[in-house]
Structure 1
């Protein structure tokens, strides 16, 4: 059960908080079809929120919808969307608002941490990496701001990473984008605060998603990262999701302009 998980590698967990203020709220999550984003979709849906999510991976999105079909008050709403196409992103956000109501919680999650060397980065690759890891976060926030203000306020949660805070030579462009998100978050918090819109960012550490396990998290790498953490266990998507739930809820009504690290004490 999501809110009474018994253990992670022997560490006893749960039960976890229920946030009444999230019930029936309209939540938009970009990149929600798999990984950490899918955990966000699941957690918000099981809180009773009306969850919309965008992704280009339709197969994984459909599997997620099937897994939630009998478990939540509102079946999540999925739209296939390439967030790097700003015009389409704006159209899909407008459609979501028209179908579900004003979006009052936005989780800017879509990203790609593909490895690359410093020498092989071209101007075209730079632009493509910035588009998937940074640009859409700004324009999604811009697209929901008026609706949030009309609804009396809202919460924008931008997903950064500790990648820019540790040596990350294989993801230089990704790390650049993730550092920029921290600065963007602070600017947007001041720009939107008068409308009772809170803007925070979350910086995960080494989170064991299926993609990370498949591509990069070898047993040796996991051993190295756990050695660097204060908490000696692997970190899972739900560890991040529980913080994001809090930041979306009214329980965090006075928290904005902040960066929140979920890394088991690595940094």
Structure 2
């Protein structure tokens, strides 16, 4: 059970869209916004997990099943969320998949699929919600990056390249949208102990190596990412834009 979140009065009643919100870091972000009294709409490729999350947080919120690699489907899903909870005032571009792959075996088709999974939808999600934010004269967009490329991590070149590009997307969109008081930032996770990570890669040996890399001895739970996202979405972060906010325990 996470320790208590700070309360941000500015988030109460705010309409928040989250991609990949049914599991992992995304699920903690959805829960955190719901606890703030925000109106949360989220999309996920897994309809069963999405329905379960909606049951958990309550049907005053909204869920739409969507494969974000299909941009038309993304736009339709966002329209459905807006119909239920209103146009997005906050967008959290969270959805991604860090599948491992050997650089020698990557095909052009696989590269494109990984880019579509980890990067392309972020731009089109921004493009979809930005007009309503511009009309409102404010908004907060939070893109989830990764410290994998900062650390020169290997074993997933298409993923690391996509995540490095997220930082460029954040910087350029912060410039283009800033005149409308729309803030765009990147949250940069370290190795976060989601259930997927625990099942696939978090061996005792790997965890010990990770602790040695971090300045802090504790492993990173998903709710620590949600706390940073809440801050950046709130009016407390009114002068924060175009930057990276690291949540990686000082990993080197």
TM-score of the aligned structures, taking structure 1 as reference length: 0.92
- What SS does structure 1 have at the residue aligned with 2:174? helix
1:220: Cα distance to partner?
1.1
Which residue of structure 2 aligns with residue 12 of structure 1? Answer: none
Deviation at residue 96 of structure 1 after TM alignment: 1.9
In structure 2, list runs of 5 or more residues that go unmatched. Answer: none
Aligned to 1:81: 66
Match of 1:57 in 2: 46
1:135 maps to 2:120: yes
Instruction: Tell me if the contact between 1:106 and 1:157 (Cα under 8 Å) persists in the aligned partners.
Output: yes
Question: In the TM superposition, what is the alpha-carbon distance from 1:264 to its structure 2 partner?
Answer: 0.3
Which of 33, 37, 43 is the matching residue for 1:44?
Answer: 33
Unaligned runs of 5+ in 1: 6-14
Question: For residues 228 and 131 of structure 2, what CA distance do their matches in structure 1 show?
Answer: 25
Structure-to-structure mapping, 1:29-40, within 5 angstroms? 29-40=18-29
Asked if structure 1 preserves the Cα contact closer than 8 Å seen for 2:62 and 2:84, the reply is: no
2:11 to 8, 12, 22: 22
Q: Which residue of 1 aligns with 2:154?
A: 169
* Per-residue deviation, 1:167: 2.8
The alpha-carbon deviation at position 66 of structure 1 amounts to 2.7
1:38 match: secondary structure? helix
SS at match of 2:98: coil
Kept in 2, the 8 Å contact 1:118–1:169? The answer is no
Question: CA–CA distance in 2 between the matches of 1:41 and 1:152?
Answer: 24
- Aligned counterpart, 1:249: 234
| Equivalent residue pairs, number | 252
Deviation at 1:77, TM superposition (A): 0.8
**SS of residue paired to 1:119:** helix
Q: Aligned with 2:184: secondary structure?
A: strand
TM-superposed CA distance for 1:232, in Å, is 0.1
Which among 140, 163, 166 is matched to residue 181 of structure 1? 166
Deviations 1:1-25 (A, max 9, x none): 65xx3xxxxxxxxx43100000010
Name the structure 2 match of 1:118.
Answer: 103
SS at match of 2:104: coil
Q: Which residue of 1 aligns with 2:195?
A: 210
Superposed displacement of residue 101, structure 1: 1.4
Give the match for residue 66 of structure 1.
55
Q: How far, CA to CA, are the matches of 1:255 and 1:105 in structure 2? A: 14
Is the 8 Å Cα contact of residues 63 and 81 (structure 2) preserved in structure 1? Answer: no
Q: Paired residue for 2:142, among 150, 157, 163?
A: 157
Deviation at 1:152, TM superposition (A): 2.1
Farther-moved stretch of structure 1 (196-205 vs 75-84)? 75-84
> Which of 217, 220, 225 is the matching residue for 1:235?
220
Name the CA distance, whole Å, in 2 between partners of 1:140 and 1:240.
20
Distance apart, 1:119 and its partner CA: 0.4
